[in-house]
Amino acid sequence: MKKTLGTAVAFVALAMSAFAGSASAADTLTLKLKWVPQAQFAGYYVAAAKGYYAEENLEVTIDGGSTDVSPVQGLVGGTADVVINWAADALASREKGVNLINIAQPFKNSALLLACRKDMGVATSADFKGKTLGVWFGGNEYPFYAYMTKLGYATQGGADGVEVLKQGFNVDPILQKQAACVSAMTYNEYGQILDGGLKAEDLVVFNYRDEGVGMLEDGLYVLEDKLADAAFKDKLVRFVRASMKGWKAAVENPAEAAQIVVDSDPSGAATIEHQTYMMGEVAKLIDPEFKGKLNVDDFNQTVKTLLSASGSETPTISKEPVGAYTTEITDKL
């Protein structure tokens, strides 16, 4: 997530037929990102740049995300066929009536952190009391509230609770001491904090996964009723296969992947230095088998964590979801 880019952007992968001499038009598909072009999505850009989608007879449009709107709106509004989203927001949306379903999970590990300044009195989670903590919203707040519920902290301020600062998608609050802790991703904002002048030894970091409240991030979601169309399912199989091939190439050639991302950013804001750093960290999160298969135990852990916050001030889901994922796409890879 990057503060210098706030508008949706699109990158179009123009695909040719996978069969030489074929007169049939390529199948089209639009992928909506969770954020703007960056190495968090390198696998998709690499798949486009290297022609992996074209080899699958696909013409894929990669549509950049927004700073404050859930990518689910792309499905609801009919502007996207597939979206990248975190499981918490996806499950919350499903309970609210949007019948989206997880079809693949390229990110095996989670990267969400609370990064805190030691000089503002934070050494352990017990020190959150009375502090201001920066939180991303727009569907990104659910892991935080689950964490606070686990710790038993109210989020309306006070000596025994925490004050929530609605954090922009930057790290200014921690650099300017407006908040003792801020939301950060291992592959992006943590590096920005260090670039801002703080050193690793100045910080204490709480990884949501290590704190027992980690949730699945960056899965691929579609509207469930569209899976009734056999042609659409076939298109998804080809899309996921090509995308995971792109992720494999990105992980194995991070410098090349970073350059492809920079070249794919029409705003020109992405820098090779930051994208190279980001790609190195993102590589640690990707399914090492490059199949994008959802780990059901990880899914169940996400659901359990979300349900643990069902009585909090900002509940995510109130009941266990049914039919929220399918393995029928990745089973065909």
**Residue 310, pLDDT score:** 72
Average pLDDT of the chain to the nearest whole number: 91
- Asked if 53 and 59 touch (Cβ cutoff 8 Å), the reply is yes
Q: Do domains 10-109+216-332 and 112-207 have the same CATH topology?
A: yes
Which pLDDT tens digit goes with each residue over 142-191? 899 999 999 999 999 988 999 999 999 899 999 999 999 999 999 999 99
Residue boundaries of the structural domains of the chain: 10-109+216-332, 112-207
Largest Cα–Cα separation, the chain: 71
**Beta-strand (E) ranges in 118-153?**
132-135
Residue 279 tokens, joined: 């790609």
Side-chain half-sphere CA neighbours of 301 within 13 A = 17
**Residue 315, pLDDT score:** 67
- Asked if 276 and 255 touch (Cβ cutoff 8 Å), the reply is yes
Measure the CA–CA gap between 71 and 331, rounded to whole angstroms: 25
- Among 7-21, 134-148, 188-202, 229-243, name the one with the lowest average pLDDT: 7-21
**Residue 169, pLDDT score:** 84
CA triple 122-124-128, angle to 5 deg: 60
The superfamily CATH assigns to domain 10-109+216-332 is Periplasmic binding protein-like II (3.40.190.10)
**Residue 331, pLDDT score:** 97
pLDDT band at 140 (very low <50, low <70, confident <90, very high): confident
Q: Which candidate, 4, 10, 81, places its Cα nearest to that of 41?
A: 10
Q: What is the pTM of this model?
A: 0.91
pLDDT band at 11 (very low <50, low <70, confident <90, very high): very low
pLDDT band at 86 (very low <50, low <70, confident <90, very high): very high
Residue 257 tokens, joined: 């992947």
- Which overall architecture, per CATH, does domain 112-207 show? 3-Layer(aba) Sandwich (3.40)
- Asked if 41 and 33 touch (Cβ cutoff 8 Å), the reply is yes
- Residue 93 pLDDT > 70: yes
**Contacts by 198-203, CB closer than 8 A, 24 or more apart:** 198/117, 198/174, 202/117, 202/118, 202/119, 203/115, 203/116, 203/117, 203/118
pLDDT band at 325 (very low <50, low <70, confident <90, very high): very high
Measure the CA–CA gap between 225 and 208, rounded to whole angstroms: 33
**Residue 5, pLDDT score:** 37
Higher pLDDT, 290 or 8: 290
Partners of 113 in the beta sheet?
Answer: 184, 207
- Residue 208 pLDDT > 80: yes
